[in-house]
Structure 1
Amino acid sequence: MRIVLCCAGGFSTTMLMENMKKTVKESAKLNESDFDFIAIPVEMLPQEVENCDVLVVGPQIAHKIDTITPILEPHGIPYTIIDRDTYGKMDGATALKMALIAHRKANMK
């Protein structure tokens, strides 16, 4: 599963991405080889959309969701917006859980 993390510049989201990777690595149930992560600035989303299974949106660009969803919808890509508390704590476990739930819900449709 390719999880794309998207924010204003891609820098702080890279820290969250590393914590998500760490969560997968330390998990007894998840397999590292099943996951691929990338952190990008929102401007790069059109180039990455075809290589995305779920999008994780940083809270600092949540206001841009109306421009993000038209990029995702033709490809059927689910997304989740990380809340400020989870993002501020760089809580990779919660962010990963949110991404997996969004992906699962989309597959149930």
Structure 2
Amino acid sequence: MKILLVCAGGMSTSILMKKMEKYWKEAGEELQIKAVGLGEYQDVYQNYDIVLVGPQVSYRLKEVKENTGLPCAPIESFDYAIANCSNIMKLAKKLYAEK
């Protein structure tokens, strides 16, 4: 699965991205993931299956969905804050099934 993580600047999401990579590897799942800011996602979304949006930019979810045409969802604030990779993986798999 190829996941694009979008947040305000790509910084906090980069931390989450590293934790997700580790979690998915330990779970034996294939994952390609990239964290970008709102200003960059339109340049790279074509290479991804789904888009997960950080809670701080979830108000832009509709715009991201319209611009990419990909399944998109916001990451719950609590899951994002504590890097709950289990819940985020469930969300990602649910979105991927919609593809």
Partner of 2:81: 88
- Kindly state the Cα deviation for residue 93 of structure 1 after the two structures are TM-superposed: 2.1
State the alpha-carbon separation in 2 of the partners of residues 19 and 98 from structure 1. 16
Partner of 2:48: 52
State the alpha-carbon separation in 2 of the partners of residues 25 and 67 from structure 1. 31
State the alpha-carbon separation in 2 of the partners of residues 93 and 11 from structure 1. 21
State the alpha-carbon separation in 2 of the partners of residues 10 and 83 from structure 1. 17
- Kindly state the Cα deviation for residue 66 of structure 1 after the two structures are TM-superposed: 2.6
What per-residue deviation string (whole Å, max 9, x for no partner) do you get for residues 40-75 of structure 1?
0011111011111010100000011232121122xx
Matched to 2:95, the amino acid is A
Q: Which has the higher helix share?
A: 1
The unaligned stretches of length 5 or more in structure 1 are none
State the alpha-carbon separation in 2 of the partners of residues 97 and 19 from structure 1. 15
**Larger radius of gyration between Structure 1 and Structure 2:** 1
Q: SS where residue 66 of structure 1 aligns?
A: helix
- Aligned pairs for 1:21-100 (under 5 A) are 21-27=21-27, 30-31=28-29, 34-73=30-69, 77-100=70-93
Matched to 1:24, the amino acid is W
State the alpha-carbon separation in 2 of the partners of residues 17 and 94 from structure 1. 14
Identity rate of aligned residues, in percent? 27
Task: State the TM-score, normalized to the length of structure 1.
Answer: 0.83
Matched to 2:51, the amino acid is L
Correspondence 1:7 to 2:7: yes
Matched to 2:77, the amino acid is R
- Kindly state the Cα deviation for residue 82 of structure 1 after the two structures are TM-superposed: 0.4
